[in-house]
Structure 1
Amino acid sequence: MTKAAGLPAHLAHPFSPAGRIDPYPAYAWLRTHDPVHRDPMTGMWLVTGYADCAALLKDPAFSAASGQRERSRDDDLPVSMLTTDGLDHTRLRAPGALLLGPAALASVADAIAADADALLDRAVERGVPVDAVEELGAPLATAVLARLFGLSEDGRATLAALARAASVNLDPLAPPQIARVGRAAMGELTRFLDAHTDRADPHCPLGRLAADTRLTRQEMLGVLGLAVVGGWQPLAEAVGNALYWLLPRPEVRAALRAGGRDAADTAVDELLRLEAPIPFTARVTVHDAELPGGRVPAGQRVLAVLAAANRDPAVFADPDGLVWDRRPNPHLAFGGGPHFCLAARLVKQSGATLLGRIVRRFPEAVIAGPDPRWAPSLIPRRLTALPVDLGTDVPDAGSRDAGVPDAAGLQDAHA
């Protein structure tokens, strides 16, 4: 295949200031004309077709560990599932399920539901438009991790601040000065988790992970740090991104109210497909690799552009629209293959818990003020703010249970 020199002049590069706001026109052109594209602006390969991304994520020729070592930073991330491949990755991932697997999430499901209710109760008490990004998404993400870690209320503010600062480590293209901030925050986060682990309730998910003898202390802390970096930010931003699509569509909200928990679970998958907080993942080819859309030589930096693959019309009918009951929905918002995000279940089930309650309790909720703006960041894909007028609270006998995954639902959900 002959590689195109670059995008047409009328399209903003997806990493340019304008392209970061709306990368989808450029993604669509690349996906159609050059799905395995050598990008002259970055020197990287941008893989945008669904078939190509799905194949890349499963192919050991594309190394995640090497992808992380090629980041724009002058240090190494802690050893974790993100920075290892093959047998080392598998060895670390299995104990990680003690923290993020079905049983761990089921053990805190009721507490997370109570946290979601408390967030919405506080929003009602304030009586003003609530910023869904800062006042719903971020506190929910903090509450979920605090439950898994067995943190007291006093530790939540520290966790939230460190999680936000360390989340820059998700971005493989972060400028050096931003990467330095992320490095420092990751060190502080590791020290915070290290100190807390010795005090953790042995019956909480963190306590069970800490007692597992398969990992060294540093490996265990690496898993914890990745859970924060890979779980907090995606969940925090997914709430605002989802409500951006959901609130202007009263017919979808009515269907979710009628459908209960199963409908909320299905809708969250679709909302993540449309606006994945983590739009791409980095790899490096350890040898020449063939993808359906083209060949990538050895030693190349590659981005699997998940956000582009998730809107591939070859896989998804009406790819740019919200089809809330889409089934099957094989989106790649959490990656795929051996490195499929271990926090996927956390993000999906916690998001469904909160969104199910919002559509049930606040049938008149609307976006308040001018059109929301997308932040000029590559990772995460997020809104700068999303002011929401919740309208009238309509509590009823089933409002706090409808649309909320219970322990059984968490165990049965697809990983």
Structure 2
Amino acid sequence: MPAYSPSPASRSATTGFDPSDAAHLRAPYPIFERMREAGPVHWSPEISGWLVLGWAEVQQMVSTPEVFSANRLTPVVERLPEAARATAGDVLRWLSIWMVFQDPPEHTRVRRHMLSVINPRTVGSLREPVQEVTDLLLDRLPRDEPFDFYTQFGLKLPGFVVMDLLGVPRDRLAEVKSWSDEMMLFIGSSRKVTDKYSRAKHGAQSMSELFRELIAQRRAEPRDDALTRMISHEVAGETLTDDELIASMMMIANGAQETTAHLLSNSLLALRAHPDQFAALSEDREQLIPTAVEELLRYDGPVLSTARLAVADSELGGQRIAAGERVFGLLVAANRDPAVFADPAGLDLRRKPNKHLSFSSGVHFCLGAPLARLEAQIALGEIVTRFPGYEFAEPLENVPWTNSMVARGPTRLPIRWGR
């Protein structure tokens, strides 16, 4: 497989976006706008891969797995130092089974099983439990002193919901989140973390042990819950293996928490920066909240990019992409493409239609999208109603943002509810 480098004719197509720069992570949109003016696809020396900013080009990228494969783990292994391969191998064993790193037909087979527990019908039945968790967490938060919204509410709401769904005791949430964070050191970025492979291995081993115990418990004593349905569900007479079940539980636990937490945090930032839109939502919460959540997903979504590996020579956005090169679809940039969205830098909670790509598209459209939408609608509706005077407890320029090419959002968000 060739080394990651652009074709000679494209070598000048470099970018000004540096994902290791805190200022760029906090406010990437002016940079993306300047890049888009020069073209929808750029080579990035900072990440040794292509950045795709155009809506149509991102759609093409995520919709053609025969050219742009989701299985991008093999080159990761090939580039690892020999000393790290054994340690990383234990993590890759699990990641290789994750549905998000698979192409059809294997992806299709696993997704059919997962749809038995995460689909619009089952998510609809979770409205009352999500409301109960939302109320429980909001009631526990301090009224007269600052608190970290991201950790004390943002992570806990989807965490509690998905832990209940998978049958994991709520008091294990902090452990599972820490193990998930360790695994994500392998995926998201973390180039400056020297022990990331050993930490990722620890996270993978710890989660697999817990989830294997839970699966064994359900096999011995089946319940009317999502985990039992995952274990027993058949497609063409076949069920998921224990390893596939564990890997799927890892993927759900990982994807359900951080992305929804960032969606909520980013939404509070966006609403406070647009008082007219906040006022409109406050005045017409029931009618406006569904389209408001879609617009907040578009305006500053919780996923920066989705990555693929080119497995065939191709052309994208006027650039020649060689087999073996990495391609990053910048979802948040595509969501502000003026060719698709009027006033793309503006926040319009009544925007229709809204063809944002925050949940990606094609065969890898986010399985958890219905649940994330439900959680955001309920949580933001309650916050706007209960705490219309919320304010940030420190200058936003002091708030750090996630160092990742995957997740997008602050790693903490100090808030005071106010009056």
Question: Whole-Å Cα distance in 2 between the matches of residues 7 and 290 of structure 1?
Answer: 17
Deviations along 1:40-83, one digit per CA (max 9) or x if unpaired, are 33331111111111111101234444323334764321402112
Cα 1:248–1:44 shift into 2, 3 Å? closer
SS in 1 for 2:312: coil
| 1:388 counterpart residue number | 415
Q: Which residue of 2 aligns with 1:133?
A: 150
Equivalent pairs: percent with the same residue?
30
* Alignment correspondent of 2:401: 375
Matched to 1:51, the amino acid is A
**How far off its partner does 1:369 sit?**
2.8
Look up the SS of the partner of 1:287 in the other structure: coil
1:36/1:6 CA distance change after superposition, 3 Å: closer
1:209 aligned residue (230, 239, 259): 230
Determine if the alignment matches structure 1 residue 254 to structure 2 residue 279.
yes
Match of 2:200 in 1: 182
Deviations 1:273-306 (A, max 9, x none): 2222221111111112233443312221111111
Deviation, 1:163, is 3.3
Cα displacement string for residues 378-402 of structure 1 (whole angstroms, at most 9, x for unaligned residues): 242221322222234xxxxxxxxxx
Instruction: Indicate the residue corresponding to 1:347 in structure 2.
Output: 372
User: Does residue 29 of structure 1 match 2:34?
Assistant: yes
Asked if residue 160 in structure 1 is aligned to residue 177 in structure 2, the reply is yes
CA distance in 2, matches of 1:386, 1:331: 25
CA contact (8 A) 1:61 1:288 kept: no
Which deviates the most, 238-247 or 199-208? 199-208
Task: Say which SS state the counterpart of residue 171 (structure 1) adopts.
Answer: coil
Q: Do structure 1's residue 319 and structure 2's residue 337 form an aligned pair?
A: no
SS of the residue aligned with 1:67? coil
TM-superposed deviation, 1:316: 1.4
Contact 1:238 1:276 in 2 (8 A): yes
Post-superposition shift, 1:377? 0.6
The answer to whether structure 1 residue 199 and structure 2 residue 206 are counterparts is no
> In the alignment, is the contact (CA less than 8 A) between 2:41 and 2:50 conserved in 1?
yes
What does residue 12 of structure 2 align with? 5
Structure 1 residues 127 and 160: CA distance shift in structure 2, 3 A: farther
Q: 1:160 to 1:285 in 2, by over 3 A?
A: closer
Aligned residue for 1:281, secondary structure, equals: strand
Kindly indicate whether the alpha-carbon contact (under 8 Å) linking 1:68 and 1:283 is maintained by their aligned counterparts in 2. Answer: no
Structure 1 residue 46 corresponds to structure 2 residue 51: yes
Structural RMSD (CA): 2.5
Q: Matched residue pairs, number? A: 389
Partner deviation per Cα, 1:163-195 (whole Å, 9 max, x = no partner): 343343541675563344233212211221221
Instruction: Kindly provide the CA deviation profile for residues 201-241 of structure 1, in whole angstroms up to 9, marking residues without a partner as x.
Output: 62121221122243111112221111112222101222111
| Contact 1:100 1:343 survives alignment (8 Å) | yes
The change in CA–CA distance for 1:115 and 1:46 in structure 2 (over 3 A counts) is same
Q: Which residue of 1 aligns with 2:323?
A: 298
Structure 1 residues not aligned, in runs of 5+: 393-415
Deviation at 1:6, TM superposition (A): 4.8
Give the Cα separation in 1 of the matches to 2:19 and 2:177. Answer: 29
Provide the TM-score with structure 2 as the length reference: 0.85
Determine the structure 2 residue equivalent to 1:84.
102
Q: Distance in 2 between matches of 1:339 and 1:297?
A: 23
Quote the Cα distance in structure 2 between the aligned partners of 1:6 and 1:15: 19
Which residue type is aligned with residue 375 of structure 1? W
1:48-87 matched pairs, under 5 angstroms: 48-71=53-76, 74-75=88-89, 76=92, 77-87=95-105
1:197–1:206 Cα contact (<8 Å) kept: yes
- Does structure 2 retain, via aligned residues, the 8 Å contact 1:132–1:239? no
- Name the counterpart of 2:4: none
Q: Provide, for residues 18-49 of structure 1, a one-character-per-residue CA deviation record: whole Å limited to 9, x for no partner.
A: 42333223322222213222223333111111
**Aligned counterpart, 2:314:** 289
1:403 is matched with: none
How many angstroms does 1:7 deviate by? 4.5
Structure 2 distance, partners of 1:70, 1:305, is: 21
Q: 1:40 to 1:147 in 2, by over 3 A?
A: same
Structure 1's consecutive aligned runs of 4 or more residues displaced over 4 angstroms after TM superposition are: 172-176
In structure 2, C-alpha distance between the alignment counterparts of 1:150 and 1:328, rounded to whole Å: 38
Deviations 1:100-157 (A, max 9, x none): 2123322332111101001111115x53223211111011121111221133333333
1:310 pairs, out of 318, 335, 355, with 335
How far apart are the structure 2 equivalents of 1:231 and 1:253? 26
TM-fit CA distance, 1:268: 1.6
CA distance in 2, matches of 1:35, 1:199: 51
Query: By how many angstroms is 1:270 displaced?
Result: 1.6
Paired AA for residue 283 in structure 1: R
Query: SS in structure 2 opposite 1:284?
Result: strand
Gaps of at least 5 residues in structure 2 are 1-6, 81-87
Match of 1:360 among 359, 380, 385: 385
> Residue 259 of structure 2 contacts residue 302 of structure 2 at CA under 8 Å; is this kept in 1?
yes
CA distance change for structure 1 residues 262 and 198 in 2, over 3 Å: closer, same or farther?
farther
State which drifts further: 361-370 or 152-161.
152-161
Contact 1:4/1:34 (8 A) holds in 2 = no
AA partner of residue 212 (structure 1): H
Report the CA distance between 1:262 and its aligned residue: 4.7
Q: 1:144·1:350 contact (CA, 8 Å) conserved in 2?
A: no
How far apart in 1 are the matches of 2:21 and 2:147?
Answer: 31
CA distance in structure 2 between the partners assigned to 1:174 and 1:329 by the alignment: 35
